[in-house]
Amino acid sequence: MSFVLSLLIALPLFATPIVYALFKVNRRLGIYGSLAISTVVVLITAYIFWQVYATPPAPGQYLFQERYSWVSFSYFGLDYLVGTDGLSSPLLFVSALLTVLAIYGSRKLIDHHEAEYYSLIFLFEGAIMGVFSSLNLILFYIFWEVVLIPMFFFIGVWGGPRRKYAALKFIIFTFAGSTVMLLGFLYFYMGMSTPTFDIPAIQTLLLTHQVPVALEYLPLLASFIGFAVKLPLFPFHTWLPDAHVEAPAPISVLLAGVLLKMGGYGFLRISIGLFPNASAEYAWVFLGLGLFSMFYGAVAAILQKDMKKMIAFTSINHMGFVLFGAYATLVSGNLLGIQGAIFQMFTHGLAVGCLFMLSGFIQHSAGTREIPKLKGLGKIMPRTAAILMLGSAAAMGLPPFASFLAEFMVISAGISASAFTAISILVPVLTAGYFLWMIKRTVLSPAEGGHDVHDMGWADVAGFAVFLIPLVVLIVASYLVLTPALPVAQFLKGLAS
């Protein structure tokens, strides 16, 4: 039995107190220690990612499976069960990578309670690794909830002026959503003839038609509420702009790059993976909601003055692609949809993570994030401006960034779903519109007033390059993500009877 995934979950969790102690000794030691531990985590996820690519598990199979009995009594059985496949391995990798980058950026942007801050980052990372590798619904739920606690403190303690309000709103919204999701799981469990919480076992039952289709509807609705809050989907998104605006920039990176992926992952792994028949029956509803969210996020982003809020709405727009692509495959049978959705989650994490981190740097050196007040960045802060242009290009899906390929795949699945959903091809136009307008106002405008702002150093530029280089590499080597994603797409499409 392999132990890699357990190591991956346990390492950050055990690092939590260690990093705290390191910071109490010395600040430099703490930061180098955090970077070292999180880099080891990246290497482990890279190994997992490579293994899943090299030997992609067959449809419905999982690599690195581990199972231990955890709780069982007369009518109740619960195992610790983890495993990974082409759906979760890219997310594990991108989450670990973004954690390193968030830590790297935090060294300049976080200036108080650092010991608590960095140790909570590791609690967050451990829980995220758990979410993406759990193959048991209750285990999944537990990690899912543990993610909330550090995020609550990140926003509440290290956030902006309205941080207290944003933190409470965030935790109540997401907790309410996820408890409803849990109820759906429990309803499903009690309704099965051979009750189990194990995802592979339930999928076997589904393939042999041992789960009544009527049982799927309510859990699908319940899980939809849980995941729609996280994704977030209009109209469950209202916590997101508040949380993003108040959160410090590195935490926004984790929020957008990692936390939102939990929603997209949940839709693929659980909504489609466990309730396939109900999902297929109502696929057009999800397709419509995803499409609406794409447009809504884009239009709302145009209206924003705060650069960070604009990027926050971009996330709503981009995550709409994930839902849209996933359900476009169910409607049309075109596998590009699910493959594109997985790819989109990967690229969105890096592109938007880069922009969020950048907004933190801009605020740090220019003192504001208001787009109308930022003028002449191209003259005053040439390196920052260059990164801003490249990051925007990545976010709007311009080649040679892999986001182009991801959006292209999702849209082509949308076109094969129906003539109406082909309208999704207009979304990238809107996205490009507001990004270019933002660049025109900030980078290309003439400079005004004081020149006392300072540009970022080359060390920071290197940090930003780490966000963008994988995107360029992946447009050439897209098979790294797409090859293992193919069996997942085939399996999810084939589940519905």
Partner 1 sequence: MIDYLTGAIVILAGAALLLPLLQLSKRSSEKLPGYLLSLALGVAMVFLLMFTINPTQVSWSGNLIAPDKLGGIFALVTVGVTLAVALASIDYQKGPSNPVYYSLLAFTALGMVLLAYAQDLLLLFVSWELMSLPTYVLAGFDKKIRSNEASVKYAIIGAMSSAVILYAISLAYGLTGSTQISQVVQQFVNHPTALAGVATLLFVAGFGFKMSIVPFHMWIPDAYEGAPTTISTLLAAATKKAGFIAAIRVLLAITTIYVVTQSPLFTMANVFAVLAVLTMTLGNVSALTQKSMTRLLAYSSIAQAGYMLIGFVAFSNAPGSAAASLGLTGTIFHVINHSVMKGVAFLAAALVAMQLRRSDLKAYDGLARRMPLTAFTLAVAFLGLAGVPPLSGFWSKLILVLSVANGPYAWLALAAILNSAFSLGYYAWLIKRMYIDDPESTEKVKEPFWFVMVFAVMVGLIIGIGLFPQQVISFASSAASSFVG
Nearer Cβ to partner 1 (145/455)? 145
Nearer Cβ to partner 1 (17/333)? 17
Q: Which two tokens stand for residue 30?
A: 């703490």
Nearer Cβ to partner 1 (142/213)? 142
Instruction: Kindly state the smallest distance separating residue 195's Cβ from partner 1, in Å.
Output: 9
Nearer Cβ to partner 1 (141/313)? 141
Instruction: Kindly state the smallest distance separating residue 163's Cβ from partner 1, in Å.
Output: 8
CA 302 to chain centre: 22
Nearer Cβ to partner 1 (190/469)? 190
Instruction: Kindly state the smallest distance separating residue 161's Cβ from partner 1, in Å.
Output: 13
Nearer Cβ to partner 1 (179/416)? 179
Nearer Cβ to partner 1 (171/330)? 171
Instruction: Kindly state the smallest distance separating residue 229's Cβ from partner 1, in Å.
Output: 11
Closest CA to 18 of 126, 91, 169, 148: 126
Nearer Cβ to partner 1 (29/192)? 192
List residues near partner 1 by CB under 8 A.
Answer: 70-76, 138, 141-142, 145-146, 148-149, 152-153, 156-157, 163-164, 167-168, 171-172, 175-176, 179-180, 182-183, 186-191
Instruction: Kindly state the smallest distance separating residue 251's Cβ from partner 1, in Å.
Output: 15
Nearer Cβ to partner 1 (121/357)? 121
Instruction: Kindly state the smallest distance separating residue 140's Cβ from partner 1, in Å.
Output: 11
Nearer Cβ to partner 1 (62/188)? 188
